[in-house]
Structure 1
């Protein structure tokens, strides 16, 4: 009987967007990185802002973990190749990739949106994940398999977003995950997607978040409990570990039940 374990001892994982901007709470990438390190993985912390990644590295090393930082822009193929190479050169293998980089991007409807900003948003939110996988998959194949986790959003599962770019790009991440799961199953590489809901992170806080808006976000779910980057990171660590060995092509909402309902039941909200 196969042994199922969450333990990632001896494994190497890349997390893109592994830093966290200053503010209350923790970003999804930093939380995922720390939780993967606690499970035994060695981390390649990739971020466009070196100071943010360095803070994550210090947190991991303070707990006895091991990590390196790489500064790069994941919309550039050469930077993606370099991020993957850094981990392989340091530890000789690659076992997991967490595609966490994403932006809100261009605002407005199809009638209003700026085409150049639209193209940049798709480049960051969708193409970057393809580019990282392009260079990560061959190294995972050499290692005998691995796990890729793409970070989507509940906005990619349902309508109602005020702008067209964000839900469109996150919906693309959802179906890209399914397609990649089929493509790479033969190599023992599992590909899954985590779709966060109304979590409260420093990035969210920086986006003109008033106390009233924060409370309204909390109440847009069944559990009526505010989520954090740690909730997202826990799902990521699970999907990278052995306890999820029979999961691929899965789209996992981490949203306190927000996508399970069309409207809040009476007594809630």
Structure 2
């Protein structure tokens, strides 16, 4: 039931981390995968790993916040593989870790443009192909930060919260067209701090990693997830195994949004 043989899937932000794991899982399950990222070397590395394992994948560079590039990405998938069946809106960024009054307007706008705007644009250009085919699946990667308030992440929280409710809204509009739209809300995922990692000094990277590990240790399952654990849920949501799910918001967070964490006060 979790095979998606012969289907074409676009996975944005799939040069690294969760997106890369999703692209790899989809290819292993039989899909033709269009890997997309602004980081060309990383995206091509993902494609190389898929093809070396016997899968089918191509790379298309795209900044999903730019309408023409989002449109070209979807068009490239259709041209290359003859159609489109699945869209994973994963591309995103966190922005500076500041309180709102310290955030520069341009930085806030960029986070919204990539996270929320990219989800809108790629969906906007994919949906006509789903309508023509009579079916389709969109998997949006939101965040636990879209479900709760989190310190020093105003743009990120705002964008991910908006993605969650956009997911519900699209499910309402397109359910009658057999287009399913669901969202995953990852918690602490061990991605090596994603794109922040390479920009940090060795000392800062170690400190940031330790903070994440301590925070993850306080959650019910007591650890960070591996990207493959999120990818498994994304594969389920793209497959016929989830055929009666739409508008669902699925936390993959080790239980962190199920409880108020008292920290040291609970001891």
TM-score normalised per structure 2: 0.91
Q: Which residue of 1 aligns with 2:236?
A: 238
Aligned to 1:111, what secondary structure does the other structure show? helix
8 A Cα contact 2:219 2:261, kept in partner: no
Q: Which residue of 1 aligns with 2:159?
A: 169
Alignment counterpart, residue 76 of structure 2, candidates 68, 78, 86:
86
State the alpha-carbon separation in 2 of the partners of residues 268 and 85 from structure 1.
53
8 A Cα contact 1:106 1:114, kept in partner: no
State the alpha-carbon separation in 1 of the partners of residues 206 and 237 from structure 2.
30
Deviations 1:194-217 (A, max 9, x none): 011011103347163425324303
Q: Which residue of 2 aligns with 1:57?
A: 47
* 1:1-269 equivalence runs, <5 A: 5-20=1-16, 27-204=17-194, 206=197, 208-210=205-207, 212-263=210-261
Deviation at 1:219, TM superposition (A): 0.8
8 A Cα contact 1:161 1:167, kept in partner: no
Deviation at 1:50, TM superposition (A): 1.2
8 A Cα contact 1:221 1:264, kept in partner: no
8 A Cα contact 2:218 2:263, kept in partner: no
Q: Could you list the runs of 5+ residues in structure 1 that have no partner in the other structure?
A: 21-26
**Number of equivalent positions:** 259
Aligned to 1:195, what secondary structure does the other structure show? strand
8 A Cα contact 1:37 1:65, kept in partner: yes
Aligned to 1:34, what secondary structure does the other structure show? helix
Mark the CA change 1:175 to 1:215 in structure 2 (over 3 Å): closer, same or farther.
Answer: same
Deviation at 1:221, TM superposition (A): 1.1
8 A Cα contact 1:44 1:67, kept in partner: yes
Structure 1 stretches of 4+ moved >6 Å? 265-269
Name whichever of 211-220 and 201-210 sits farther off. Answer: 201-210
Deviation at 1:31, TM superposition (A): 0.2
8 A Cα contact 1:193 1:250, kept in partner: yes
RMSD: 1.9
Deviation at 1:223, TM superposition (A): 0.8
Deviation at 1:106, TM superposition (A): 4.2
Aligned to 1:193, what secondary structure does the other structure show? strand
Q: Could you list the runs of 5+ residues in structure 2 that have no partner in the other structure?
A: none
Deviations 1:60-93 (A, max 9, x none): 1112110111011111111111111111111111
More helix by share: 2
